[in-house]
């Protein structure tokens, strides 16, 4: 392999072929920090420890059956949101156990245990209805129930960064540091739908770094940047981070591979 020099770094691989891992299991910690910039700042921190297990590869290794199992979940909300800690903690358990059909590029094609999730939601909603009351609570429960009836909407939600979007994302493919391949993807923020560019920034013998940024620079009211670091040999994600700043809200999403 010839060596390519760029930005004063020495690269040893001209092209990298990333595919979603075919087998194995890894433990991850997801931490989301959401800061609302009001008169009295509000900061919410969501920490989820989970295991990602590839149960089976199908159709010539183009499809994976994947389990995402949450082992612990912690929500810390301050300011005006502190009173909602208990309710938010209950709602956050809806996706504690997911069995997904994932394509080799990282995108979700099917939720195999959607019936179990819907049944779990019936139990959770009954628990909430017996402890809380009011028009807003009823609207919230109906909104969630309506969403859970649609597999498409559930997939859209769990692929957002505030759920599992750093772990299951259409990000795998061919990347080249000599003539970088840029992947364009849709990015949904709290206020807008944008487009992001994902491209190879750094590559060495052990890992690669994919950087992402906004495609449309004219969105001056929104600041966005992030990276995904992979093991080059196994294709397992090592860690990732996305920072998003928009009017009255700052968000940092992180995922880190942790020891088993």
Whether residue 93 has pLDDT greater than 80: yes
Rounded to whole angstroms, how far apart are CA atoms 96 and 43? 23
List own/partner pairs for 128-134 with CB under 8 A and 24 or more apart. Answer: 128/87, 128/90, 128/91, 132/87
Rounded to whole angstroms, how far apart are CA atoms 101 and 113? 10
Q: What's the angle, vertex CA 114, arms to CA 111 and CA 120, rounded to 5?
A: 145
Confidence of residue 170 (pLDDT cuts 50, 70, 90): very high
Per-residue pLDDT reduced to its tens digit, 148-167: 999 999 999 999 998 999 99
Which numeric CATH code is attached to 4-258? Answer: 2.30.230
The pTM of this model reads 0.88
- Percentage, residues of the chain above pLDDT 90: 56
Take residue 251 and report the two structure tokens written for it. 């968000």
Residue spans of the domains in the chain: they are 4-258
Q: Do residues 121 and 94 touch, judged by C-beta distance below 8 A?
A: yes
């Amino acid at each position: 392999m010839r060596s390519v020099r760029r930005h004063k770094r020495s690269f040893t691989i001209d092209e990298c072929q990333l595919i979603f891992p075919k087998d194995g299991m890894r433990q991850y910690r997801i931490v989301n920090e959401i800061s609302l910039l009001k008169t009295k700042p509000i900061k919410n921190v969501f920490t989820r420890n989970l295991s990602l297990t590839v149960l089976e590869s199908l159709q010539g290794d183009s499809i994976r059956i994947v389990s995402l199992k949450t082992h612990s979940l912690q929500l810390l909300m301050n300011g005006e949101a502190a009173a909602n800690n208990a309710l938010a903690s209950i709602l956050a358990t809806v996706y504690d156990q997911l069995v997904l059909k994932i394509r080799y590029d990282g995108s979700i094609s099917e939720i195999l245990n959607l019936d179990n999730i819907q049944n779990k939601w019936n139990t959770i909603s009954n628990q909430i209805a017996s402890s809380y009351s009011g028009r807003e609570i009823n609207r919230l429960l109906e909104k969630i129930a309506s969403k859970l009836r649609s597999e498409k909407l559930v997939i859209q939600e769990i692929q957002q960064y505030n759920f599992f979007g750093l772990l299951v994302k259409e990000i795998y493919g061919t990347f080249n540091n000599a003539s970088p391949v840029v992947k364009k993807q849709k990015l949904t923020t709290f206020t807008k739908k944008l487009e992001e560019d994902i491209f190879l920034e750094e590559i060495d013998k052990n890992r690669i770094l994919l950087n992402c940024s906004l495609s449309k620079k004219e969105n001056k009211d929104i600041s966005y940047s992030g990276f995904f670091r992979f093991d080059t040999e196994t294709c397992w994600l090592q860690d990732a981070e996305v920072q998003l700043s928009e009017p009255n809200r700052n968000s940092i999403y992180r995922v880190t591979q942790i020891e088993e």
